[in-house]
Structure formats: structure tokens, C-alpha cells
Structure 1
Amino acid sequence: MEQIEDGSRPPLVSVKGIPLIKYFAESIELLKNFQVWPDDVLISTYPKSGTTWVSEILDMIYHGGDQEKCQRAPIYDRVPFLEFKAPGSRSGMETLQEIPAPRILKTHLPLSLLPQALLDRKIKIIYVARNAKDVAVSYFNFYKMAKVHPDPGTWEEFLETFMTGKVAYGSWYQHVLEWQELSKRHPVLYLFYEDMKKDPKREIQKITEFVGQSLPEDILDRIVQQTSFKKMKENPMANYTTVPNGIMDHSISPFMRKGTTGDWKNTFTVAQNERFDADYEKKMAGSDLHFDMEL
């Protein structure tokens, strides 16, 4: 990955009503030609919901828990990011051309922008949902350090932007709800970040079975250990420190910051929390999705 040439933090671009990072918006048209392989597995999440965690888990499952093989390249080369595009860097689609089967792919796209071929071929999808409050705080910090985003402004300003769905990838509410709806008619394993924090082994076992793999107990235990937040934060092949400062400035905030549940309480004011709760109740009315806001 080379240095990004345009550090101007361009404004988001709307594609079918969804705000996207300018460079990513440019790649959407190219995705229409995406060639799906039958054994592809797609990881889908709203940003800051455990994408890298599940990517590392799946790569380890496919390599039988072999840590050395999972050190072969940075995670963004092992698990191509479908819509990724940035000046001076290989796009996600270009990275994809070099990946042998079975391929693990990742995306943050809402359903309206997902390549139709992925749905037509009924490929397996692992979706991870994380509680909205922790996502908002994590996304704010990510916006600050990842320079492909517009300037987030103050926390108060960003929270308003998040609640109105004007952040990159649009509304968190729409995202988690529409992917849950898809899980009723498509092979989607719908997981919760908070469940993964509570019992990682149980959730990793679910992923293993979902992708048709079988691993002995000791290998599962090794994967749990190697994909802990602490281990991944120290792992340059997983923590994005290999990305140039022009794209991600880790001196502002590390890509892997805290990885906890309930950290939102250190950022939200009482008034912000009350307002968020009232808005949340309206937007999630009628949904049976339940999120743990703290553990």
C-alpha cells in the first residue's frame, strides 16, 4: 500500500441515497462485474463492528489454526475489502484477483449496493452486529484517524451525523435491520459482537460449522487465544499499522483502540444518552433485535 496522494478528506458521495467515502463510491460501478465463486464467504458488517476480528478468525479456521500461515500478509490482503479504493493503493477488486479459493471477502455495503451476484449465487455470509452506542464512539475515533473520511467535527456534531445516517455507509439502523431480514431467506450467520466478547469459543465454533469446517478442541482454543483483542492489537498483520500514515494516522487513534463493550459511557453525556435512547426506540420499534449496551 502506497501513500495516499490526496489528504484533503473529501466529502462523502451519495450512491443510491447512501453516503460513501469518495474513493469507494468510484468502485461501486466496477463491482457490478464481480465474478462470484461458489465457495466464497462474505463477511458483512456496519463499520466498527468486529470486521477485522471475524476476518482473522475465518483465516485461522481455513488454515487449521496455523499462526505462521496467518502471518503471510496483512489482513487487508488476506481478506479483500470489496469496495476499497484509494489513490496510490490496490483496490479491493485488484487484491481479490490474487486470492486462491476458498476466498474470504469483506464489505460494509448496505444491501442496495451489494453486487447482486453475491445474492444470486446464495454464497454464505457472516454478518456481525454491534450495539449502536459503541459503534458511534468507535466510528468517531476512526473518522479522526482514517483520512479518507471527511473531518468528523466535535463528538457532539458527529453523534448528530451518526443518528441521522449521514456518515459513510448510511444508517446503522437500516443496516442491522435489513441484513437481519435477509437472514430469513439467505444463508446468513447473524452474530452479535457482544456475544463474541462474552463467549468467543462458542461463537467461533458457530462460524466453523457454518463454513463447513471441523476443528479439534485444542485448535479452537488456539484460535480463541490468537484472536483475542490483546493479541490482535500486537499483531502487525492484523492491526493495520502497515497502512501508511497518509491513509491511517495511528498517532491520532489506533485502528484497534479498545474493543470493549460499554465504552460509550466514557463519551456520551447524560443528555446525549437520553436523546439517543429516545431516537433509538423510534427507529428500532417493531424489531426483535436486542443488543447488550454493556457486559
Structure 2
Amino acid sequence: MSSLETERNGCEKKDFPFEISDVVPSVNEKLLQDFHGERTGFFQVGHKKWFFPSTFRGHLPKLYNFEVRPTDVWIVTFPRSGTTLTQEMVWLLMNNLDFDKASSASLAERFPFIERNCIFNHELHAELLKENKDSEEKIEAVEKLIESVCDKVHEMKGRRFIKTHLPLSLLPKNLLTAGCKVIYVARNPMDLVISCYLHNRLFRTRNFTKDFPKYWQYFKTNFVNWSPYWEHVLEAWEKRNEENLLFLFYENMIKDLKKTISEVQHFLGTAYSDDQISSLENHLNIDNFRKNKSVNHDDWKILGIFNKNEQDFIRAGQNGEAKRWFDEDMEREAIEWIQEHLKNSDLKFPSI
């Protein structure tokens, strides 16, 4: 790579100290039968076996070597852990509670998902182009789906707000020492897996076609994107006392949103009045949040990225859904699974 390319991309691909291996053929074949959004296959990374679809393969080294700035604000989560709510909260706290701009500019523009283009394979992209061929505006929007977000973020001026679902170990090595602010949000896995299941049914990029018990088996055996879940969460938990990392629980966020806003603003160094915090709390209230077009990916719905007759991107915003989804055997299995992975850790999820 030339020095010019390195400067433009903010990274050098050669520094990626993790072995990449394809998922064994028999498992890969079964995954492709159940996750129709992926068309080629899946691979795993490093000794922790981070799991990704084939579209991530050429991008992970670039993301690992991304050039971090001290003024960056990052949100790191396993998917469906309260990411969108946290993004909106953080952006408003760092932008003078500019509700007008937050409503007029999409969250994806204000707070880019740095590996977003990695979730779109060429076959699905071609299908979306064909489906939207009658509109030049939609074709332009579809073309942008596979443009490198990493490159665009690298070129951004001023403070950057960055979302990722990558685990800390696959992110830049200096992320927690460069001076930027990093917020990690964790969520109880029994609620999270339900939200992930519905999310995987909604998005054509995943297009999971089986029932919840089947998805649960994939989830607990680490065959869903960005897994393994426990490694993801425990890596961050072990770093929770780092000066530039704030570790949050989604359960606490939902239980007392105002308290969480105060905690986040203290971490970010902002200072708003009680009335201003109450205004932000009202803006983030799930009933209002669900109606907020700037955070709901309405543009993706228009392009056909969402499957019809599935639940929306922003759903219930609740804790305790597991009781309605897990039968007795599954619940017992899940509790044992949780206990096994936490037996050597002091991590405890808040009661709900």
C-alpha cells in the first residue's frame, strides 16, 4: 500500500495479528440454509473465534488499524443492547441538545456505523439495485450502501461519533489510550437474544427464516454475527475501570433513564440543567423514540432492506421479555449457560 493510500484510509492492512479460518463446510452449509441473507459463507477470527459473514473478511484489518483521534466518541455494543438509544443520547449531549438537527438528519449520518458496508454482500446489493431501478435517487442510495464507511469517517472533520459492534480486541489497539471517549453497553443475554432474533428476521442482510428455538441454538453456540456474546461483554467488563471507558447496563438505562443521562453527561464532561435533562429524557422515551424517523432507518425500509410483516427496527424498549419466549427447558438451559460463563467473573446483570 502506498503512503498516499495509507493516509487516505488511516490504516495499514498488514497489521492484523489474528488468524482467519473458514467455518467448517457442514456448519457453513447449514448456516446458509437458515440465514438467507448471506450468500457465500462465514469465517471465524482468532482464538476466540469471532464469527462473521464473508463480507467482513477484507475489512477487519482496516478497522483494526483505523486511526483514532482524541476527540472521538465511540459506542461499542453487541447488537441489540440499546445501541441506538445510546447513540441519540450521546449525540445530543455533545451537540447542545440540538433536537431540530437530530430530527432532520438521520442518526446514521450523525453517528456512523463504521462497519455498516460490511453487512451488504454483492448479490443482495445487485438485487436492491434491480428492485429500485426506476428511481435515480434510490439507486444512488443503494450504491452508497457498499461504500466504505471507514474511509468516510477517516475523512471527517471535527468531532467524530462512531458506532461499532466489533469487540474491543478487534478495534484499534489504542482506542482506550488515545484520549477519546468509549461507551460500552451490555444487556442481559436472555432479553438480547430475542431482540437479535427479530432483528435477524427483519433485515434481508441476514434473513433468518427459522423459529426462535433454532436461533437460540445458533446464538449460544456462537454462530451469529459478532459473537461470541460472552467474550464480547467480558472483554469490556475487564476494562470497565479504564479512565476513558464507561460501562453501562441496558437494564439500568430503561429502569432509570434520567439517572443514566446524568451518568453519561458526567463521563462526557457536559453540564445541563435538570430541565434540559428532562427534555432529553422525554425525547428518548420509547413512545417518542419509536416514532422518530431519524433513528428508525425509514430510508432502508423504502429501499426494501427490511422484510415485510416483521417487527420494526425500534421495538418495545423493555426488559423481561424472556419469560414470554423461553419454555421451561430453554430457560433452564439458558440459566445454566449464563452461570457457566460467569463462574469466574464478578459481572452481574441488574435485576429486572
**TM-score of the superposition, structure 1-length normalised?**
0.90
- Is 1:47 paired with 2:84? no
- CA deviations over 1:17-41 (Å, ceiling 9, x no partner): 2112333443212224422221101
How much is the aligned-residue C-alpha RMSD, in angstroms?
A: 2.0
1:248 Cα offset (Å): 2.6
Q: Which residue pairs with 2:184 in the alignment?
A: 127
1:286 partner letter: N
Per-residue deviation, 1:95: 4.1
Deviates more, 1:165-174 or 1:115-124: 115-124
Q: Percent identity?
A: 29
Structure 2 counterpart of 1:60: 92
Describe how 1:246-257 pairs up with structure 2 within 5 A. 246-249=304-307, 251-257=309-315
One-letter identity of the residue aligned with 2:278? D
Structure 2 counterpart of 1:213, from 270, 280, 284: 270
Alignment of 1:3-152 (within 5 A): 8-10=37-39, 11-16=41-46, 17-85=49-117, 86=120, 87=125, 88=143, 89=145, 90-97=147-154, 99-149=156-206, 151=208
Picking from 340, 343, 352, the partner of 1:282 is: 340
Bigger RCO (CA 8 Å, 6+ sep): 1
Q: What does residue 242 of structure 1 align with?
A: 299
* Cα distance change on mapping 1:62 and 1:186 into 2, 3 Å: closer
Quick one: structure 1 residues 280 and 32, their matched pair in 2 at CA, closer, same or farther if it must change by over 3 Å? closer
Quick check: which one's helix share is greater?
2
1:195 aligns with 2:261: no
* Range 45-54 or range 99-108, more displaced: 99-108
The aligned residue for residue 268 of structure 1 is 326
Q: What 5-or-longer segments of structure 2 have no aligned partner?
A: 1-35, 126-142
Change beyond 3 A, Cα 1:8–1:288: closer
CA-CA distance at 1:83 after TM superposition? 1.5
Q: Give the CA deviation at 1:211.
A: 0.9
Moved more, 244-253 or 261-270: 244-253
- The count of residues paired between Structure 1 and Structure 2 equals 288
CA drift at 1:186? 4.8
- Structure 1 window deviating more from structure 2 (283-292 vs 84-93): it is 84-93
- Please report how far the alpha carbon of residue 293 of structure 1 lies from its aligned counterpart in structure 2 after TM superposition: 5.5
Q: How far 1:247 moved relative to its partner? A: 2.6
Which residue of structure 2 aligns with residue 165 of structure 1?
222
Q: 1:24 to 1:222 in 2, by over 3 A?
A: farther
Query: Over residues 178-231 of structure 1, what are the superposed CA-to-partner deviations in whole Å (9 max), with x where a residue is unaligned?
Result: 101122345211111111111111110111111111111111111100011111
Q: Structure 1 residues 114, 51: closer, same or farther in 2, change over 3 A? A: same
In the TM superposition, residue 250 of structure 1 has moved relative to its aligned partner by 5.5
Distance (whole Å) between structure 1 residues aligned to residue 275 and residue 83 of structure 2: 24
Kindly indicate whether the alpha-carbon contact (under 8 Å) linking 1:83 and 1:107 is maintained by their aligned counterparts in 2. yes
Task: Work out the CA distance in 1 between the residues paired with 2:199 and 2:168.
Answer: 23
**Structure 1: segments with no counterpart, 5+ residues:** 1-6
Q: What letter matches 1:140 in structure 2?
A: Y
Verify the 8 A CA contact 1:12 1:168 in the aligned structure 2. no
Q: Verify the 8 A CA contact 2:75 2:87 in the aligned structure 1.
A: yes
1:293/1:209 CA distance change after superposition, 3 Å: closer
| Higher Rg | 2
- In 1, distance between residues paired with 2:284 and 2:57? 31
Q: Distance in 2 between matches of 1:148 and 1:65?
A: 33
> Measured at CA, do residues 181 and 122 of structure 1 come closer, stay the same or move farther in structure 2, by a change above 3 Å?
farther
- Normalising to structure 2: TM-score of the pair? 0.76
